[in-house]
Amino acid sequence: MRIRLVKQFMDEEIVEAVIQALQNEKAVMGESVFKFEEELARYFGVKYAVTTSSGTHALQFALMAVGVKAGKKVVTTPYSFIATANSVIHAGGIPVFADVR
């Protein structure tokens, strides 16, 4: 027996927007991406919003945004994808692993 953990939901409007963007624009940094970022910023009530192509890039941006610089220690978990620690190193920081109980 197979038990679905998640039921995928794809609104037809979303599917159409993705198809439109892929057929008419660059997949990265196209007009629809800029429009989406503007709408996202408006939704959250902030001046700017940035989308990234991956969770790794999102981690790197977040670390830069909070000012992680060379030699700064950043506490992270050892039980994660390698990108978590690599993002700290990429930003110039030193990953310090903390276990959980």
**Domain residue spans of the chain:** 27-97
What is d(CA 43, CA 80) in angstroms, rounded to the nearest whole number? 30
Backbone angles phi, psi at 86, to 5 degrees: -60, -35
Token digits for 39? 């709408």
Residue 45: the pLDDT is 98
Helix residue spans in 29-95 (DSSP H): 31-44, 55-65, 83-90
Residue 7: the pLDDT is 78
Residue 24: the pLDDT is 77
- The Cα-based distances of 93 to 82, 85, 96 in angstroms read 15, 9, 9
Query: For the CA atoms of the chain, what is the radius of gyration?
Result: 18
Residue 75: the pLDDT is 95
Ranges under pLDDT 50 in the chain: none
